Structure 1
Amino acid sequence: MPRLALYTFGVLKSPLADPTPLTREFYERGEAVYRKISRHPGYLARAEPAGDDRGVLFGADWGAWGEFAVPTWYDKGRTAETTALAATLSLWTDLRPVFDAIYTGLHREALNRRYDWFERTGHANYVCWWVSDEEIPTWQDGVSRLEHLNDHGSAPHAFTFHHSFTPEGTPTRTVGAPVAPTRPL
């Protein structure tokens, strides 16, 4: 049975290593959100670095999720001191569970604060696509699909909740998802 892959990407206003309270708050909320989402019905897995690579993005061992990659429009640092981004790659059973996890509870509260932490880039900041049940999406898959969504809009290959597709490629609408532009907020 196909599973849903979700890639998210945002450019932070300051590097992850920034010691200010706002950056610490972002980290603290992020950890709480990850814990909550990992227990959400329909959640299967997310990319996590192996061993001692926690907090490292570039150069970390991501196992089957592949080498860490970012969209071409990311133009900030790539070292531990200068990286200014947040990205996730996860697997879900279907559209509805991930939509519910993102737009309710702790994650919804964090979304309401996103412009405290993230720059407004004018680019799509998430993308969904279907994978076979034995497939593990890679960071490069996520980047390629996000760039495709940004350049061409929603299609069965790369879509949003607002303009989504079934595994067979038929347009569908996630219940509760407002009809919106192809570029999510």
Structure 2
Amino acid sequence: MIGHHLAELNVGRIVAPIDDPRVADFMANLDRINGLGKRMPGFVWMMEGSGAPGTGNTENAIGGDPLFVPNLSVWETAEALETFVWGTIHKQFYDRRAEWFEVLGAMHFVMWWVPEGHEPTLDEALDRLEHLKKHGDSDHAFGWAHLKEARLWQRNTCAPVAAE
């Protein structure tokens, strides 16, 4: 979309506190994977935590629950986001998500177009997620299926139970 970038929010709930051995491999690789994302062609912006090594966005708790970990970023295009998610080492960690994250009974991923230069807030992103849950895909809030140009998600998407 001309003059716009693609924002995405992905919310996960880790299976244990960030200092627990069950999530140690995930936590140990956060900086590496986030750093890779920031160097990708088409990357625009990412919500950050305190910047303390190995913490990622874990300080941005949702609803006061420190186990909810939001990932909020902005990309030039859907293709750029897809390339990062499924065309880099990130995919290896994506494929292991069941080790570190609970299966959520509700939709936990949303995308929407933002004007170039806009950095969405977590509250804005959560509002978009709620809109998607209530109304389904629309130009206001959508999932991968709403983007005609997106292709990689079709063979890499979550099982239906994880995104209902």
Fold agreement, TM-score > 0.5: yes
Q: 2:135 aligns with which of 145, 152, 172?
A: 152
One-letter amino acid of the structure 1 residue matched with residue 41 of structure 2: P
Kindly report structure 1 stretches of 4+ aligned residues shifted beyond 6 Å.
51-54
Deviation at 1:159, TM superposition (A): 0.9
Gaps of 5+ in 2: none
| Residue 104 of structure 2 is aligned to residue 113 of structure 1 | no
Question: How many residues end up aligned between the 2 structures?
Answer: 158
Q: SS in structure 2 opposite 1:178? A: helix
Normalized against structure 2, the TM-score is what?
A: 0.82
Q: SS in structure 1 opposite 2:145? A: coil
Gaps of 5+ in 1: 61-67, 165-171
Matched residue, 1:14: 16
Structure with the larger helix share: 2
Matched residue, 1:38: 38
One-letter amino acid of the structure 2 residue matched with residue 174 of structure 1: A
Normalized against structure 1, the TM-score is what?
A: 0.73
CA distance in structure 2 between the aligned counterparts of 1:35 and 1:102, rounded to whole angstroms: 13
| Residue 151 of structure 2 is aligned to residue 175 of structure 1 | yes
> 1:4–1:92: 8 Å Cα contact kept in structure 2?
yes
CA distance in structure 2 between the aligned counterparts of 1:101 and 1:123, rounded to whole angstroms: 24
| Residue 125 of structure 2 is aligned to residue 142 of structure 1 | yes
CA distance in structure 1 between the aligned counterparts of 2:53 and 2:152, rounded to whole angstroms: 37
Matched residue, 2:112: 129
> 1:16–1:85: 8 Å Cα contact kept in structure 2?
no
